[in-house]
Amino acid sequence: MEIRKYGDPVLREKARAVAEVTDEVRELIKDMAGTMYENKGIGLAAPQVGVKSRVIVVDGGQGLLALINPEILSSPEAGEELAEEGCLSLPEITVEVKRARKIRVKGLSEKGKNIETEAEGLLARAIQHEVDHLNGILMIDRISYARRQLLRSQLKKLEKAHA
């Protein structure tokens, strides 16, 4: 699948909930996972491949986790941490982003079953990053204005390449 890059309007749109887990959704998950691994990513959201559905795949080192209609449940007691992030839709750009260190997330599995799980560290970060994509939020939206200004020329180059 083609990964959409910064400047593509689909990255700023809010994805729609998946009404039913079908073979088509399972095929999307399989294709997204293949695309993520092929591009050496640890997460991918459906809008990043041009599909406006609430589907994510992540692999924080424990194997593939696919979530349909994921919802992050708050874990304020777990605290936050600042760490560097990259994004397949923003190639060659990394920024430090503050995120919850530990989260609970619920959603549907590929089989359409309700699942709820805890994640921490890299997996928690990847899930939060991908859920942001489902809401039209990019990692650069979570950094200071001053830091964004420092990235302005790189972002303009990506926008120009997309146009």
Q: Which residues are designated catalytic?
A: 130
Whether the Cβ atoms of residue 59 and residue 42 lie closer than 8 Å to each other: yes
Side-chain-side CA neighbours of 144 within 13 Å: the count stands at: 4
The b/e string for 50-75 (b: 16+ C-beta within 10 A; e otherwise) is ebebbbbbbbbeeeebbbbbbebeeb
Three-state SS sequence of 21-49: CCHHHHHHHHHHHHHHHHCCCCEEEHHHH
